[in-house]
Structure 1
Amino acid sequence: MTDTRGTHPSGPAHPTGSDLHLDLPARGGRRAALMAALREAIRSGRLAPGTRLPPYRALAADLGLARNTAAEAY
């Protein structure tokens, strides 16, 4: 079976950040922590130019955050 994730009929799509692993503290400023984690992922190269981030609702659900927290961090 061929893996077709990240491809599009017209050519390769931009990769998504859906497998992005972010560690946030259990308490405290969650929005600030998310912003810092995203910045660090960019600086370290884990988030390459052109990488699409997951929708903020999906990110919020994955991280156990309020949707507005993820939207504000984006």
Structure 2
Amino acid sequence: MQPIIKTRSKAEAEEAQRRYFWSLTPYERVALAVKLNRQARAIYAANPANSSLDFAPHQHGRRVLKSTTPIPRDRR
């Protein structure tokens, strides 16, 4: 659980959050990042104006897109 930081200074709060984050083990930092990602997806999905978050392996940049023709490059 993240500690509660009481201060009037935004810089002090950010520094305390940074110290807390880097005091965690790498496994705990990854778990925290996963939790943050899930929260962000839930907030995004709550807005009906946003497109759906259907992350199949073949969608949304999860695969390499290949072109049948080469990409034109400017010659110097």
Which TM-score band (shorter chain)?
A: under 0.3
Higher RCO (C-alpha under 8 Å, 6+ residues apart): 1
TM-score normalized by structure 2?
0.27
TM-score normalized by structure 1?
0.27
Q: Which has the larger radius of gyration?
A: 2
